[in-house]
Amino acid sequence: MRSLRFSTAILSIVLLALLFVSGALLLLAYEGSQTALDEEVKLTYDQDHKVVSRMVKEYLTGVAGVAEEIAKRNDIRASAAANDFMTIDMILGDSIRGPAGERIHAIVVDVNDLQPVVVSGVSMYSMDLALNTFTNDTTPMRAWDNIMISTDEGDFHLLRYKTPIIRQSLGEVMGALYAYILVNDNYWLLTEIQEITGAGSLSFFSGMDNVGSLEASMIHPNELLVATPNSPIVPLSDGTAHFHSLTIGREPFRLYLHKPGNSSLILTRAYNENLLIGTVTVILISLIVMALIRSLTQRSLGRLLKYAEKVPYQVIPTPYKNGLFDEFNKVGTEIEEMVRDIRAQENQLDAIFHNAPSLMFIKSADLKYIMINPKAPEHYQCREMDILGSNDFDLLPQKQAEILREADLRVVSQHRPAQCEYSIDQNGTTRHYLCTKFPLLRDSGEVYAIGGITTDITDKVNAEAEAQISNKVFEAAAEAILIMNDKGKVLTNSAFTRITGYSSQRARRFALSLLAEHPEIEIALDKHGRWKGESTQRRANGEKLPVWASISVVEEITGGKIYVAVFSDISDLKEAEQKLEKLAHYDNLTGLPNRTLFYDRFESALQLSERLGSKTALLFIDLDRFKPINDNYGHHVGDKMLIEAAGRIRQHIRPSDTVSRLGGDEFTVILSDLSSSDVAQDIARRIQSELKKVYVCEGKELFSSASIGIALYPDDGRNTQVLLKHADTAMYHIKERGRNDVMFFDKALNAQAEARIQLEENLRMAINTQSLFLVYQPRFDIAGQRVLSAEALIRWHHPIRGMIPPSEFIVLAEECGLIVELGRMVLRRACQAAKDWNQILERPVPVSVNLSARQLHSEELVSDIEAALKSADLAPELLELEITETMVIKDLNTVIKTLQSIRALGVKMSVDDFGTGYSSLIYLKRLPVSTVKIDRSFIDDVPGSEDGESLVKAIISMSHTLNLRVVAEGVEEQSQLAFLRQHQCDEIQGFLLAKPDHPSKIHALLSHELNGSHSATIP
């Protein structure tokens, strides 16, 4: 490029400036005139825009009004309600062929999601635009929207107005009516615009599509496209082109108008003629000025040029010496400051290069290092001098060097930056690096070097690896995980979709539902940052989904919040809980509420009665003779009988009442909100009558009845325990009086029952204390001289009542089930006593112990006997067990097996109270006994009673015939002893010889006998 002298350039500038000033003055005058003309054109433009916009708006409003009227027509509504599409088609056809057809080109009616009815006007009759496919959308009612339909014939732009068709009777929306206007070549619209604007030509565009034109002048419509949104008014040879932007419906349209007129052309010609004269004058003046300026600036400009050539090579720039002109002085000073700034920038870049934490380098075009920063030796594990002049193959393994070389070649060939990643082992660990390279270009665009920055990204790579592992854990988690930020963006794992059925796109709805149903979640999150709890949601298919959810909130670095919800499906757990609930509260056999649920419901019934001031009755029902039926026919028959009884009870209670099974054959009925006790009695009687009817189980007719005790709230108690106890007491009194009855609780009878219960409790405590003790009554030979054995008899010294007779507490022990434990204690103590006195005798003296009926039928009897013998270390032959005839006869075969097992131990057996029972030789012969004891009631009649004497003699004779020894009980007189001796009785026992007494007395008696000084009675 050829250079110019400064003075020449200045003079040229002055010339140009003068020309410019002259032209500007002329231009200002021109512009003033032109502005006035433009204002007039602009005013016309604005008026045209308003008129066209108003016309379009009125056009659309009129079409919308016609559509609304058609949609509200009663015949349209009636036909729509009846799905009479033929009538709808006829009505629409009449409407569109009328005056409305000039502006509405098509009408579509869509009712009840059935096949839409489409009616087209003349302008659209031959067009196959498939308008029936554009009805099923979500566009709002009573609003315009735009539709473009592309066909083989081209693109068609339509305006659509949607209005509802409303059922007249119910006010519900049955469907919608769509009115369509075809914008393409809309002659009515184009002619209206031309008429109100006075345009010669016009063009109508949507996007790049010309949707209509009118050519009424010599200007072609395409010539109008010179007008743009930035230049909406453009002069033409015979007028102006106007651009208008219109929004019709929701779509923008472009309108181009040609406005005829030549005012601008006349103005332009007048000013062009004056411009030539002014230009010649300015040139002459400029040449004179140029000569003058050149002579003034030559010296100062030369000094400035010399300074500019010298200062770039100075490390510290020398100050510029000022000359004649301030302007040149300022340029010199600016050059000086510029050089200083360049030096400062060079120093800054040098500091960045040498102190950057990353490796920075520059390579030559042949890919050798020519500049490096101090990080390079650390990176390459070698000295700086070994790096400079080397390439990557000299410094790194081949694999890494190839990666770096490939990036270098991309930079050189593409003249663009490039990146690459590589890893190297340093000090036993693998480090990862990201290298960014960029070209250094000459002014010609040639790459003369490559710059680069290498950054250690080890932490980033490791973090990404950990993130991948976390993502895998996230996806593999069995629990559903939902993460949502405060902007509503949601992330879920696969378990969420599996458990809920919701896709990740619909997960936000699930989260919002959870928050809406549990407002306490947001409170807990705001206060504690976490919430845990149970919730019941719904799966995507509508099924209930019980979940256990844990939600926490995490603060983002930007200040936003992230909500993390982890929840698991607890459907199986809830189902198990329901089963456990049923097992815990309902009887497995009858399905009735069990004891636990009974207590809960009874408490609720009592609370209700307390609020209402009404009565509540508790019926305690016990089936009579159920145990024998259950024992004789088996538990399966007993179970069926209980199920049948439960069903019968249900038949006679009210819906508000509760029947429960407490266990065994015991049922309760809670009768709530009673006006009087008569209602309870009536229901109880009906239940009693029903339960007395015959039961048929497995073809067997079974007969039972019911004993029903009743306790009333608040008369008989105010809490569950007391009322249950009192109802049970009333039932117990029925049992004592013969069963099969209904009885209300009576306080007097309850006192007796409580005394019995108290005595029972005392007996339980006495079994393990010294309150119960044993006395022993000796059995003598018929001569009354020798003690052959001693019978153990239990006594009870009550701390308050004193001595309680065995006839009272033995019966109580039988009834309350303590007799087995009591008999076990007697066995143990009697064996120990026999062991003690046999240690001082030269001959054996056994001890005899009475067995109860329950003991005899206990499965533990044999083991209890063995334990007692072993505990006392007593020989089996020194123990004799006494049984009664009645015990044996009730279950002969079972008892005989038990007695044989006892006899096999070496323990003797005897029959007590013989004669009071069946006194059958057949039974006696089968029993493994060695002794028969005649009951004292027979001894009382001898001598003196012929029948009594005959009976005693027969028993003795019969027993001897069976090789059994005979013991006479209750011998209190010498005449009785003489009679027994006469008839060869073997042993005697009674107050005549010795009363029952403590073991110490027995020891004394046996000691006297040992010393030969026996006394017939114990003092």
H or E segment at 422?
A: strand 418-426
**Any idea where the domains of the chain sit in the sequence?**
73-182, 357-461, 477-575, 589-745, 762-1010
For the stretch 543-597, pLDDT in tens is 888 888 888 988 877 778 888 888 888 887 777 777 776 777 888 899 899 998 9
Task: Give the best-scoring range by mean pLDDT among 163-167, 240-244, 999-1003.
Answer: 163-167
Residues 714, 730: Cα–Cα separation, whole Å? 16
Map tokens 């959870």 to a residue: 514
The pLDDT assigned to 917 comes to 55
Lowest mean pLDDT among 57-61, 298-302, 533-537: 298-302
Residues 753, 728: Cα–Cα separation, whole Å? 10
Asked if residue 626 lies in contact with residue 668, where contact means CB atoms within 8 angstroms, the answer is no
Asked if residue 691 lies in contact with residue 646, where contact means CB atoms within 8 angstroms, the answer is no
Six-digit token pair at 198? 């006075």
Specify the pairing of strand 931-934 against strand 908-914.
parallel
Q: How deeply is 136 buried, as exposed, middle or buried, from its count of CB atoms within 10 A (0-12, 13-18, 19+)?
A: exposed
State residue 1007 phi and psi, 5-degree precision: -65, -40
Lowest mean pLDDT among 68-77, 297-306, 322-331, 947-956: 297-306
Six-digit token pair at 413? 């060939």
Asked if residue 370 lies in contact with residue 388, where contact means CB atoms within 8 angstroms, the answer is yes
Binned at pLDDT 50, 70 and 90, residue 841 comes out as confident
The pLDDT assigned to 224 comes to 65
For the stretch 507-519, pLDDT in tens is 888 888 888 888 8
The pLDDT assigned to 604 comes to 92
State residue 128 phi and psi, 5-degree precision: -95, 80
Asked if residue 698 lies in contact with residue 637, where contact means CB atoms within 8 angstroms, the answer is yes
For the stretch 394-416, pLDDT in tens is 989 999 899 999 999 999 999 99
Closest of 547, 556, 479, 555 to residue 513, by C-alpha? 547
The pLDDT assigned to 691 comes to 94
Asked if residue 642 lies in contact with residue 590, where contact means CB atoms within 8 angstroms, the answer is yes
The SS3 of residue 490 is strand
Residues 702, 687: Cα–Cα separation, whole Å? 17
Stretch 131-146: mean pLDDT, rounded?
82
Binned at pLDDT 50, 70 and 90, residue 1019 comes out as very low
CATH code reported for the domain at 73-182: 3.30.450.220
Lowest mean pLDDT among 127-131, 482-486, 522-526: 127-131
The pLDDT assigned to 297 comes to 66
Residue 93 is which amino acid? G
Residue 5, pLDDT above cutoff 70: no
Query: Can you give the length of the chain in residues?
Result: 1019
DSSP 997: B
Omega within 30 of 0 (cis) for the link into 943: yes
The SS3 of residue 995 is coil
Asked if residue 376 lies in contact with residue 358, where contact means CB atoms within 8 angstroms, the answer is no
Closest of 184, 83, 73, 166 to residue 127, by C-alpha? 184
The SS3 of residue 621 is strand
Helices (H), 415-477: 458-476
pTM of the model: 0.38
Closest of 526, 570, 519, 517 to residue 552, by C-alpha? 526
Lowest mean pLDDT among 470-474, 485-489, 638-642, 900-904: 470-474
Asked if residue 688 lies in contact with residue 662, where contact means CB atoms within 8 angstroms, the answer is no
Cα dihedral across residues 744, 747, 751, 757: positive or negative: positive
Q: What percent of the chain has pLDDT over 90?
A: 28
State residue 249 phi and psi, 5-degree precision: 75, -120
Residues 851, 367: Cα–Cα separation, whole Å? 117
Residues 438, 360: Cα–Cα separation, whole Å? 12
Residues 477, 472: Cα–Cα separation, whole Å? 8
Q: Does domain 762-1010 have CATH number 3.10.450.50?
A: no
Residues 816, 813: Cα–Cα separation, whole Å? 5
Stretch 740-745: mean pLDDT, rounded?
92
Q: How deeply is 369 buried, as exposed, middle or buried, from its count of CB atoms within 10 A (0-12, 13-18, 19+)?
A: buried
Closest of 349, 826, 590, 127 to residue 818, by C-alpha? 826
Residues 60, 144: Cα–Cα separation, whole Å? 8
Residues 6+ apart with CB under 8 A from 353: 360, 373
H or E segment at 660?
A: strand 658-663
Specify the pairing of strand 201-206 against strand 666-674.
unpaired
Class of domain 357-461: alpha beta
For the stretch 681-710, pLDDT in tens is 999 999 999 999 999 988 888 999 999 999
Mean pLDDT in the chain? 84
Lowest mean pLDDT among 113-117, 259-263, 664-668, 818-822: 259-263
Residues 566, 271: Cα–Cα separation, whole Å? 83
Map tokens 């073991």 to a residue: 999
The pLDDT assigned to 247 comes to 86
Class of domain 477-575: alpha beta
CA distances for 310 relative to 314, 316, 338, 730, 797, angstroms:
7, 12, 14, 132, 139
Cα dihedral across residues 830, 832, 833, 835: positive or negative: positive
H or E segment at 399?
A: helix 398-414
Class of domain 589-745: alpha beta
Strands (E) in 827-983, as ranges, are 847-850, 879-884, 908-914, 931-934, 965-969
Closest of 531, 542, 605 to residue 567, by C-alpha? 531
357-461 and 73-182 share a CATH fold = yes
H or E segment at 347?
A: helix 326-355
For the stretch 310-356, pLDDT in tens is 777 666 777 877 776 777 778 777 877 887 777 777 777 777 777 88
Residue 750, pLDDT above cutoff 80: no
Residue 453, pLDDT above cutoff 60: yes
Closest of 501, 487, 49 to residue 242, by C-alpha? 49
DSSP 586: B
The SS3 of residue 85 is helix
Residue 710 is which amino acid? I
Residue 919, pLDDT above cutoff 60: no
Residues 451, 449: Cα–Cα separation, whole Å? 7
Stretch 853-880: mean pLDDT, rounded?
93
Stretch 235-251: mean pLDDT, rounded?
82
Residues 190, 203: Cα–Cα separation, whole Å? 9
Residues 6+ apart with CB under 8 A from 912: 850, 882, 883, 884, 933, 935
Lowest mean pLDDT among 662-676, 796-810, 998-1012: 998-1012
Write out 99-151 in H/E/C secondary structure: HHHHCCCEEEEEECCCCCEEEECHHHCCCCCCHHHHCCCCCCCCEEEEEEEEE
Residues 926, 133: Cα–Cα separation, whole Å? 105
